[in-house]
Structure formats: C-alpha cells, structure tokens
A and B are shown apart, each in its own frame.
Chain A
Amino acid sequence: MGVAPLLDLEDLNVHYGAIWALKGINLTVGEGEIVSLIGANGAGKSTTLRAISGVIKASSGGISFQGEDITKVPAHDVVKMGIAQVPEGRRVFANLSVLENLELGAYIRKDTKGIKQDLDDVLDRFPRLQERIGQVAGTLSGGEQQMLAIGRALMTRPKLMLLDEPSMGLAPLLVKEIFSIIEEINQEGTTILLVEQNARMALQVASRAYVLETGRIVLDGPAKELAQNEDVKKAYLGG
C-alpha cells in the first residue's frame, strides 16, 4: 500500500437494537476519488454514511479519516474534521430561509472572509438559489432543495462529501444536472462518497464502487468493471 486512504472503514458493524444493519464492512476512499456505494433498499447504504458522520455509533470495528480514528467522535465534531453529509431526503431546514440554511452550513467556521467567498461561490454555482435567497427553504422545489442541501454541505468546506441518494425523486434532466455538479465539485478537489439507487449514474461518475447487499459488501472494484459485471447488470442495471 502506498499512501493511506482518506477514509478507511475496517470491519464496521452497526446494530439498530436487535437488527444487525452492517455486518463487517471494509471500505476505503482515496483522496480525490469519487467512490459509489450501490445496493437495494435496506442494504445498509445510508447506515454506512450515518456511521461515518457519527449520527449512529458503530457497535464494533473502526472508522478512520486522514489516519485518525473517528469511530467515537460525536457527529458535530466529525463535521469540523472535514466530513460533510448531504443526507437522504435533503433535510433542508424548511422553516429557515435559503440564506440561513447556507449560513448554517458555515456554523462551525469563524473565518468571515472565507465564508463570504464560499457563499458567493455556492450562489454562482446555483443561480437558482441566488434568486430565492430570502425565501423559506420549504417553498423550494425538490431539485432546488437538493441544490441547497449540496450548497449547505459545501459551506462546511469539506475534504470529503458524503451524498445520500442525491437523485431521489428528481426528473431525469435534473438528475443529470446534479451529477455533473457532483463531478465538478470533485474536480475542484473534494473527495466524494456517493450512495445511490440509480446505479447506472453512480457507476458512470465513480472511479470505484462497492455493492452492498443486506449489510455486507458483495462486490467491489473499478466502476467500469462493475458496470460490465453480469450480476450487477442483472440486479441493478435492469438486465
């Protein structure tokens, strides 16, 4: 092995009460990569991201980020270390304005100048948010909320961005737009771990991918190879 990976999950187990949700996951994400995690509903994809963010605690195994063990770090401190999550269902603060949502993304930061700069960048990237800056986030469309959720995560200035089903419930055209934004963000230097049910898109943008089935990783490898794999084709790409 050369350089240590940015994110390293080692034999990660997670339980929800009696339910064994993750059964010894091993996964790495290298600096600068886009890695996709695909699988059916309930396979444990979101659970993996939630464990990385510290929202749920691992029952055993370890998570390290930049070589540092973060398994026991509380969720609000994980963000400070440089891991942002765009959660499933966007979870924007619907009672707050677009601007306030973005400002909350920068909640952990004190560098007023940098925050201002990042806010301008986010608004340049998503002109639709600029148009609705004073509007309450609950009034945005699904696509706009997804942009807001991504913008909000960018405001934390993450090294690693976790995206949970960013295409969910969006029209095909919007899905394309969101994915090209994800690629842009990656090209500008943010590493990405992407969870998707839309396996086709997920394998297109990623360099490597993992396939998760009922809490276990059953396949992994370069995304292009997985896209050609007969089992993957049958199960996730519609034959």
Chain B
Amino acid sequence: MQDLLQQLLNGLSQGSIYALIAVGYTMIYGIIQLINFAHGDVIMVGAYVALGAALMGFGFIPSLILAMITCAILGVVIERVAYRKVRPVSRLAALTSAIGVSLFLQYTMMYFLGADIRSFPADILPERTYTLGGVIVTNKDLLVLGTTLVLVIILQFIIFRTRTGKAMRAVSFDGQAAQLMGINVNYTVAFTFFIGSAMAAAAGMLYGICFNVQPLMGLMPGLKAFIAAVLGGIGSVPGAMLGGILLGMTESLVAAFGGSMYRDAVAFIILILILLIRPTGLLGKGVQEKV
C-alpha cells in the first residue's frame, strides 16, 4: 500500500511536468490546429536559460521567471518567423516547418553549448526529504507540484477571466467570426504562443532539476506531453492537465511493478488504445455542431 502511494506520488510529480508541457501543445493546437513539434525543444531552451541563470547564482524563482520570459519571446518569434506565412498554405506545410524549427533548436544548442549532459547546481535546491505516513516526499516533488499548481491557476485565470483569454477562446472556436468582433487574430495567436512557451520553459526547468539538461532533452517529454494532450482531448486545457497526470502515474506504476524497460512503450500503447476507443480523448469534444 505504501509502495503504491509512493509510486502515485512520484507519478503525480512527473505527470505535472507533462501537464505543463501538454497545456502548451493543446492551447496552440486549439487556436491554429497545429501540432507544434518545436514545443519540446522550447522546454530544452528553457532548461538551459534556467541553468545558466542558476549557475550565475540566481535563485529558483528568478531563474524560473527569466527562463519563462525568454521562452515566451522565443515562442512568439517562432510563430512569426516559421508558422505565420505557411499556416494559410496548408497544415502539412506548417507541420513540416515545425519539425524544421525543432531540429534547428536542437542542433543550434548542440553547436554552441555542446552535447554534454549538465546538471543544475545542487544548491538551487538542497535536497530534503520528509516522511509522511511511510511515504517519502522530497522537496523536489513539492517544488514541482507547487510550481505547477501556481502556474495552472494563473493560466486558468488568463483564459477565463481576462479579455485576451476570451479572445483566445473565441479565435480557437472561429477565427473569422472573431475578426468580425474586432479581435486581432494574429496578435491572439502570438499571445497563445507566448503563454504556452512560458509554461514549457517552467516545465523545462523543473525537468532539468529532476533529471539533467542536454540539447535533446526535450524530445521524450515533448512526445509524452503530446500523448497527454491527445489523451485528454487535444484543444482542451483541463484535458491536457488530466492527461499529463494520468500518464505520469501510469508510467510510474508500470516502472514500479517490474516494467521500467517498458515504461515508454506503455505510454504509447495507452495512446493507441485511447485513440481506438475514444478518438476525441477523455475530455475532448467532437467537432462541435454549428447550426
């Protein structure tokens, strides 16, 4: 029982990182129907920026904020340079462009910073553990959960309580009708990249602290978060969070009960099963009827 709780906790922590990444995937998909394959690499850039800041002596929160701002701007630049012109041409063109951006980011980082695996300095978070009814909780877990929770609340606030959030929801439902309300669609799309990429940067820093930092680090969490987004119903923000947490927990349970070699395979099997049984994902709506 304690083992189970322990694994669920580990899964929750891992899953909330997936959730942070998945939220960006799903928001961007929701607004321009593009699978932003470069999203995973924005995580990586975020991790490097945070690492650099930490090595210069900044604490956790300043490093986090710096990484989020840098990646938010990076996200806007990526959209402007690589997607905006090709988006109207075809989805496939935009997707190809996204893969190009992904490779560009990976190998640019590799060229300038090398392929070495780096770690965050230990003093950014001196490890502490607490025992709670036999379950070991580390301060890393708490940090990951706390950061995710705060960011998700901020995100919900932006989407549901602000004018721009309302515009985002309108554009993702019907861009042309949104234009007729005086909403600047390009600005709204850029803002979505801004927010989504900031979330990715936070995930990157957390991931880097839990594991390590290297130029291809975004690949696996990026793919997993993509699965999480599809699992939850792509385009749905609560779905992406749910999908992320579920995936994290499943992986952690599979690993605990003897299958750590199969962890990644299980993630993809889940994706296939979900798509077979419920193609629109757990919280996804089908194509909404427009009368």
Contacts and interface: CB of A to CB of B under 8 A. Distances in A.
A185 B60 CA distance: 58
Which of A54, A87, A89, A93 has the most B CB atoms < 10 Å from its CB? A93
Interface stretch (B40-48, B92-100, B173-181, B254-262): B173-181
Contacts of B180: 53, 55, 75, 79, 84-85, 87, 91
A76 B182 contact: yes
Nearest to A79: B182
Interface stretch (A28-36, A97-105, A186-194): A97-105
A116 interface: no
A96 B176 contact: no
B56 interface: no
B116 interface: no
B177 A87 contact: yes
B206 interface: no
B166 interface: yes
B127 interface: no
Nearest to A54: B179
B169 A96 contact: yes
A45 interface: no
Contact of A100 (B166, B177, B179, B288): B166
B167 interface: yes
A222 interface: no
Interface residues of B, number: 21
A107 B290 contact: no
Contacts of B179: 53-55, 75-76, 79
B68 interface: no
A138 B289 contact: yes
A103 to B, nearest CB: 7
A71 B289 CA distance: 33
A137 to B, nearest CB: 10
B108 interface: no
A197 interface: no
A107 B169 CA distance: 13
B169 A93 contact: yes
A91 B184 contact: no
A94 B166 contact: no
Interface string B155-195: 00000000100110110011011111111110000000000
Q: Which 8 A-B pairs have the closest CB atoms?
A: A108-B182, A79-B182, A91-B177, A75-B179, A76-B184, A104-B181, A76-B182, A93-B173
Interface of B: 163, 166-167, 169-170, 173-174, 176-185, 288-291
